[in-house]
Amino acid sequence: MTDYTLYGHPQSRAMRVMWMLEELGQDYELVPAKPQSEEIRAVSPAGKVPVLRVGAAFLSDSVAIIQFLADRHEALTAPAGTIERAVQDGHTQFLCDEVDGSLWTAAKHAFVWPEEMRVPEAKEAARIEFSRAMARLEERLGEGPYLAGSDFAVPDLLAAHCLSWAKSAKFEVESEVVTAYGKRCRARPAFRRALERAAELGKG
């Protein structure tokens, strides 16, 4: 039995956890459960993905999971209680609130929620919010190459996943700096391995 079992389809925020596990060189079992499926409700009453089983514990929320894994394996993160970690956590919170948040709002009003609950104008507002967030992301990158400087870390993984999501959602990224940053992150071998595993799943 592996140390980790990940519940969630790669075409969701579960890809973030797959990528992190690949970065850390950890073996894991993947259960490609869809949101609200019986498989996921068995381990998460809310029916949300991803969920990571660690021993007898079941952890939820992709951002909390990837930070937990980084802390546990002492990689891709600044140590807790340091100024560097406070800065890192600030980047993570910004990405959750303004980047992931705008993409998720658009998704809910495009296809997630029942049609009677959707507000077409909300998607356009989310698009504007996302565009403004991209300008702030460029500012945060500074001289880069990553948000914390020279080292790839948790917020970079989160940002790169959101940029991939934005592409599929047809949210434009006008900043050449941010576009190059996303490509740089996704060129990492661990991300390619996660993609390969997802592709193998599609063949099954």
Residues 77, 154 contacting (CB under 8 angstroms): yes
Cα–Cα distances in angstroms (integers) from residue 93 to residues 4, 66, 96, 117, in the given order: 26, 14, 5, 27
Question: Model-level pTM?
Answer: 0.96
The reply to whether 200 falls in a domain is: no
List the CATH number of the domain containing 87: 1.20.1050.10
- For residue 62 the two structure tokens come to 């992709």
Report percent pLDDT > 90 for the chain. Answer: 94
Residues 90 and 25 reside in one and the same domain: no
The reply to whether 204 falls in a domain is: no
Q: What is the pLDDT of residues 32-78, one digit of tens each?
A: 999 999 999 999 889 999 999 999 999 999 999 999 999 999 999 99
The reply to whether 91 falls in a domain is: yes
Q: In the predicted model, what is the mean pLDDT of the chain?
A: 95
Domain of 19 in residue numbering reads as: 4-75
Residues 62 and 146 reside in one and the same domain: no
